[in-house]
Amino acid sequence: MLHNKSFVKKTKGGKVMKQVREHYLRDDIYCGAPSCTVCDSSGARLSSSASTILVVDTNVVLNQIDLLENSAIDDVVVLSIVLEEVKNKNMSVYNRLRAICSNSNRKFFVFSNEYHRDTYVKEMSGETKNDRNDRAIRVATQWYQKHLGGAVKVLLVTNDKENKRKASEEGICAETVESYVKSLDRPDLLDLLVRPSSEDAEMADVEDHRPSKRKVIYSEHKPMSEITSGLHRGIYHQGKLRVNRYNPFEAYVGSESIGDEIIIYGRSNMNRAFDGDIVAVELLPEDQWQGEKSLSIVGEEDEDEDEDVHLAPNSADDAPRTTPQQGSTGVINAGSSRPSGRIVGIIKRNWHSYCGSLEPMPMPGGSRGVAYALFVSKDRRFPKIRIQTRQLENLLDKRIMVSVDSWDRQSRYPSGHYVRTIGDIGDRDTESEVVLIENDINSRPFSAQVLACLPPLPWSVSSEDLSIPFRQDLRHLRVFSVDPPGCKDIDDALHCYALPNGNFEVGVHIADVTNFVFPGTPLDDEASQRGTSVYLVERRIDMLPKPLTEDVCSLRSDVERLAFSVIWVPSADYWEFIFSKKISTLAFCIWVHTHRFALALFMYVQEMTPEADIISTRYTKSVIKSAAALSYVEAQARMDDSRLMDPVTTDLRNMNSLAKKMRLRRIERGALTLASAEVKFQIDTETHDPLDIGMYQIREANQMVEEFMLAANVSVAQQILKSFPLCSLLRRHPTPTKEMLEPLLRVSAAIGLNLDVSSSKALADSLDLAVGGDPYFNKLIRILATRCMSQAVYFCSGDLSPPEYHHYGLATPLYTHFTSPIRRYADVIVHRLLAASIGISKLPSVFQDRLQLTSIADNLNYRHRNAQMAGRASVELHTLIYFRKRPTDTEARIVKIRSNGFFVFVPKYGIEGPVYLTTRAEKGSGEWYVDEQEQKIKKMDGSFSYSILQTVQIHMEVVEPQPNRPKLQLTLI
Amino acid sequence: MEYVSPEGLRLDGRRPMEMRQIRAEIGAVSKADGSAVFEMGNTKVIAAVYGPREVQNRSQQLSDKALVRCEYNMANFSTGDRMRKPKGDRRSTEISLVIRQTLEECILTHLMPRSQIDIYVQVLQADGGTRSACINAATLALADAGIPMRDLVTSCSAGYLNSTPLLDLNYVEDSAGGPDVTVGILPKLDKVTLLQMDSKLPIDILENVIQLATEGCKAIANYIREILLENTKELEYRRGS
Ligand SMILES: [Zn+2]
């Protein structure tokens, strides 16, 4: 087998060190053609009837990966040298190429030319690495032609002129990508081609008739050497560019060198950078730090900023960032000006494919030809992209994906190429897929390796599970769950016992997911990557495979399930309780003996009084059997029906009264009662169309469950942090800055409401006092307050100092997520930490690696955020579908005053959008003017005005101002 | 990092179950009673054996068996960076001990009471698997010195990277930080005399990896036997002339 022809390959390392590597050349590497008589054809991938076999060079792969991904291109030989070069240049293209190669539907064969004794080439003296590799590709192509004989044409596809010339000289067939694709007579494939940038200038001429077009629009990017030295000398700053989701003309670069965010205003300062690019920024002179904003927007007015109706934001992260404007209320501006800058160079591009549609345009005369179109990304952070297409007709009403190829100084927009069509605009499935792609959500089915990690099904609690000493048998407890109706992934259940002395024992039982998901398994890796389940209106994308989420882990009623329990119990009674369970003293002693920690655990038990003081807590893995899986509505109905006296109902009432006390105490400590407008759809089970839409009603039962979950999370956070001060995963909610609360303060000042924002306690109190003329007023103020705050985030306790652990909204110094391990990976991590902290398992090795832990936390935040964005986008989509057939009149509240109208919030549907008093054309014509101080928009003659928070009647209707671009329009009645 | 390509080739072109090229030469140090050079790929080790001879330090003399001593070191030029390493660092002390214990197991020490056998092993060039190469070189040198042995001892390592068991790791693969199992066997008696592992492995995979390393040991044993046979023939031929 082993062809032992060894030789020595010398490479100079960075340290100018001779490195000697063995390199074995073999004679058992096969060609991959099934018709070959010489080779072993068991691993053959090429088709047996192929008349042409393609060999692609590195640059073709790097530039034309979209083309290669198209199934029209097949019978391709990928040389190992090409793979290696691609891997060194662009990891993401490498992964895509590998995916094609391993796809059994495609006929791509990897030929390890570097290890084949006939195709390996040694570097010649004076030859560059590139030349050597090009030669290797030619040698391999030639070998294939000779090996397969005249029946098959082996074609080298290369765009490198020199390489092509040499190939022809050596008698190898070679063609450029363009000429090869043209020879296939498939015009749609031509759209996938990336055009070399030399063609760019010509394209611009054809496309744009404005004389301004030929001007240089953007300043030059500095060469890398200059950037490096600039970074070194501190005149440039490096960071990742993040574009404001709601205002694409504003971006931020988090810079470590100046320890602050640098704001970039306007496209010209952004200088062709995309969201996610690593850029070099130069600070602007300090006197230009303000006023830049208004300037830049005026300059780019042709890019229309027609605002759409959106779901009302739930936090500051969902809302446009507001930078303080000069001359409004006096609260702001004392030294709050932030550094602004402009981008001088791009260190690393983050270009990928974008979802969107073509800008509506008339069909050019003489169709069938090449047309130029502007692609508008659905995600507004990205600029429009110019593409060339031969199938304009087909694409105008489609959602498509487009990749960016280049962006030169003369073009306003980057140029790119069409990748694929997702479906019709407005079609629910298409739009849902767009939502998933846009938010980077993996909705593919779980792989076989992941599914192989599942326990054998059907699963049930075995005697083995029961015999594990640390797993306590709690099946005798009257445990039940309360969840939203139709909930199948039940991760929490409760029990509550009145003890003879008047105290209560309360337990929170959480699905024992870590009993099935082991660290380091494919299942664990997949869950860690997904981070969270995603809830769209019409479907759920699970973090864990369905058998786990809906059956094995789910704490369903009347079946035995494994749980991780947090139990609050009184000490003296606890011993009684243990013995009442008829655990024989002997057995119990043995248990304590074999598990020394258990003793310590029991000593640490205190009391929960009728006043709901949770004094101490016990944690144990357990087996439970839920007596009932109630919905919020059912639980509420039971509590409210005074005739019902059954045990579960009594437990519910006891718990509810405890929860109320706990809640009161929490609010006394300064927890905020925040509000958001959540909407609920009723979906037609067959067509999946929304039938009804309305506010999500929060009942006492919801609050009761939530209260105990909060308490469990807080208890667990304390427990894990005590054991693992450096590697616990916690959740914090940063205190909002004055600047963030500014919009709220401006509104409250205008309506004469006095809000004290000095602390969460003060804010909570003044929110309680905010009572206006109507019942909804208080809720509205709370909604406005909530959207000023940023969201809570996960972090690794070793990365921050304890004061920063604070959770502002809940007013608790420590918080984590423990109660939903079926649908959140953070909870899985916390379960492992808790199990280790009570000594029943070892801490997995990942916890020793703080960098990795931090990156896990970052990924969880990213996934969590994306899941929320996707959920919101899905609601927006269904709102649009719902109103398509149902124009409606409803009540709305003004939440923001604009120069040409105002933004209204529609409480009933949870949406927010602009109402225009003047049309765009007459903007600034002077009929209306804005009084910033009073937050009013007034008619010039003083006859009429609208003020903030005012109730207005509006008409909601879906209109199509441009074909295939439906949008929801709000107008005053 | 990809140590095994989806095509099933390792970085140096071997398949997972293949060993590097091995080469051995007997009698490289004429002054010694027995000596050998052993190469596994680019790893090159020289071993010299002196003895059995009188015990130098009387206090160490054993009345019932021979005293076996082993000294291991790495030549300063054996790795790319020519760093001067202090003699007797922890690593070489450990390896000396491993080699001594492994070989002591197969030398019939009870036949040579009150004597001493010295084994010197030096790494000339290091490219992974030095431990195994040292043991293989020492076995050959012992055989060359005519020291009575129960059996040959041969050693080979195996690792586990990219979910694949790999035989005979080279330096690059060794530096990946994955599990690295070194096994030493007495091939005729089919007994394991050395088993070392860095890092962790699930038990079922460990079995496979050990099995693979053992196969490697057997292949080396066959090769060593051939070399010894050839050597003996040559000696016979020389004596005959
Ligand atoms: Zn062949």
Higher local confidence (pLDDT), A850 or A595 = A850
Measured between CA atoms, the residue of chain B closest to residue A21 is B12
The pLDDT tens digits for A35-59 are 888 888 888 888 888 888 999 999 8
Q: Can you tell me which residue has the tokens 């927007």?
A: A297
Higher local confidence (pLDDT), A167 or A14 = A167
The mean pLDDT value for A563-573 works out to 67
- The first and second tokens of residue B53, run together, are 């001879």
The pLDDT tens digits for B116-147 are 999 999 999 988 899 999 999 999 999 999 99
Residue A520 has pLDDT above 70, yes or no: yes
The mean pLDDT value for A101-115 works out to 88
Chain A residue numbers touching B15 (CB-CB < 8 A):
1-2
The pLDDT tens digits for A424-478 are 887 888 888 888 988 888 888 888 888 888 888 888 888 888 888 888 888 888 8
Higher local confidence (pLDDT), A486 or A307 = A486
Q: How far is A533 from chain B (nearest CA, A)?
A: 28
CB burial of residue A920 (10 Å; 0-12, 13-18, 19+): exposed
pLDDT at B185: 93
Tally C-beta pairs within 8 A across A and B: 56
Residue A508 has pLDDT above 80, yes or no: yes
Cis amide bond preceding A458, omega within 30: yes
Among A2, A20, A114, whose Cβ lies nearest the Cβ of B42?
Answer: A20
pLDDT at A215: 66
Measured between CA atoms, the residue of chain B closest to residue A79 is B7
pLDDT at A638: 87
**Nearest by Cα to A917 from A931, A932, A938:** A938
Among B7, B19, B20, whose Cβ lies nearest the Cβ of A110?
Answer: B7
Asked if B6's CB is within 8 angstroms of A4's CB, the reply is no
- The first and second tokens of residue A736, run together, are 């909002």
CA of A141 from ligand 1 middle (Å) equals 13
Beta partners for B48? B35, B120
**Class of B22-239 per CATH?**
alpha beta
Chain B residue numbers touching A6 (CB-CB < 8 A):
20-21, 41
Q: How far is A465 from chain B (nearest CA, A)?
A: 22
Residue A227 has pLDDT above 60, yes or no: yes
pLDDT at A71: 84
- Share above pLDDT 70 across residues of chain A, in percent, rounded to a whole number: 81
Same fold, A2-176 and A884-972: no
Q: How far is B116 from chain A (nearest CA, A)?
A: 39
Residue A10 has pLDDT above 60, yes or no: no
Q: A22, A23, A97: which to substitute to probe chain B, counting the most B Cβ within 10 Å?
A: A22
pLDDT at A606: 27
The mean pLDDT value for A659-684 works out to 74
Q: How far is B168 from chain A (nearest CA, A)?
A: 13
CA of A120 from ligand 1 middle (Å) equals 16
Chain A residue numbers touching B127 (CB-CB < 8 A):
20, 22
> Which stretches of chain A sit within 8 Å of chain B by CB?
1-2, 4, 6, 8, 13, 15, 17-26, 80, 98, 101-102, 110, 112, 114-115
Chain B residue numbers touching A18 (CB-CB < 8 A):
80
The mean pLDDT value for A212-234 works out to 78
- Whether domain A224-348 has CATH 3.40.50.620: the reply is no
Higher local confidence (pLDDT), A516 or A597 = A516
The mean pLDDT value for B180-203 works out to 88
- Domain locations in chain A? 2-176, 197-216+351-425, 224-348, 454-670, 702-880, 884-972
pLDDT at A596: 28
Question: Which of A84-93, A510-519, A564-573 is the least confident region?
Answer: A564-573
CA of A184 from ligand 1 middle (Å) equals 26
The mean pLDDT value for A56-68 works out to 88
pLDDT at A356: 87
The three-state secondary structure class of A278 is strand
A507 Cβ contact list (under 8 Å, min separation 6): A474, A477, A479, A494, A495, A496, A565, A566, A567, A568
Q: B3, B9, B220: which to substitute to probe chain A, counting the most A Cβ within 10 Å?
A: B9
pLDDT at B177: 79
Q: Which of residues 198-237 of B touch A (CB under 8 A)?
A: none
**Nearest by Cα to A73 from A103, A104, A107, A46:** A107
pLDDT at A687: 66
Please state the CATH superfamily assignment of the domain spanning residues A2-176 in this structure.
Answer: 5'-nuclease (3.40.50.1010)
Whole-angstrom distance, CA of residue A339 vs CA of residue A378: 30
The three-state secondary structure class of A672 is coil
pLDDT at B169: 92
- The first and second tokens of residue A313, run together, are 């934001």
Count of CB atoms situated within 10 Å of the CB of A740: 19
3-class SS shares of chain A: helix, strand, coil, % to 5: 35, 25, 40
pLDDT at A195: 66
pLDDT at B119: 95
DSSP structure string for A338-398:
--BEEEEEEEE----EEEEEEPP-PPPSSTTS-EEEEEEESSTTS--EEEEES-HHHHTTE
pLDDT at A291: 46
Residue A201 has pLDDT above 70, yes or no: no
Question: Which of A820-834, A896-910, B124-138, B171-185 is the least confident region?
Answer: A896-910
The pLDDT tens digits for B3-22 are 888 888 998 889 999 999 99
Residue A15 has pLDDT above 60, yes or no: no
The pLDDT tens digits for A580-633 are 333 332 233 223 222 322 222 222 222 344 555 555 678 888 888 888 888 888
A117 Cβ contact list (under 8 Å, min separation 6): A3, A5, A25, A26, A27
pLDDT at A926: 64
Residue B85 has pLDDT above 80, yes or no: no
Question: Is A610 within 8 Å of A502 (Cβ atoms)?
Answer: yes
Q: How far is B11 from chain A (nearest CA, A)?
A: 8
- Share above pLDDT 90 across residues of chain A, in percent, rounded to a whole number: 8
Asked if B9's CB is within 8 angstroms of A112's CB, the reply is yes
The mean pLDDT value for B225-241 works out to 86
CATH number of A884-972: 2.40.50.140
Asked if B13's CB is within 8 angstroms of A114's CB, the reply is yes
Query: A722 — phi, psi (to 5°)?
Result: -60, -40
Whole-angstrom distance, CA of residue B9 vs CA of residue B16: 7
- The first and second tokens of residue A727, run together, are 């590697």
Among B6, B14, B81, whose Cβ lies nearest the Cβ of A24?
Answer: B14
CATH number of A197-216+351-425: 2.40.50.700
Q: How far is B21 from chain A (nearest CA, A)?
A: 6
Residue A329 has pLDDT above 60, yes or no: no
Question: Is A894 within 8 Å of A945 (Cβ atoms)?
Answer: no
The pLDDT tens digits for A356-388 are 888 877 766 555 567 788 888 888 888 888 888
pLDDT at B137: 95
Residue A791 confidence class, pLDDT cut points 50, 70, 90: confident
CA of A451 from ligand 1 middle (Å) equals 37
Question: Which of A8-22, A327-341, A940-954 is the least confident region?
Answer: A327-341
Q: How far is B12 from chain A (nearest CA, A)?
A: 5
Residue B225 confidence class, pLDDT cut points 50, 70, 90: very high
pTM of the model: 0.68
What is the average pLDDT score of chain A?
Answer: 78
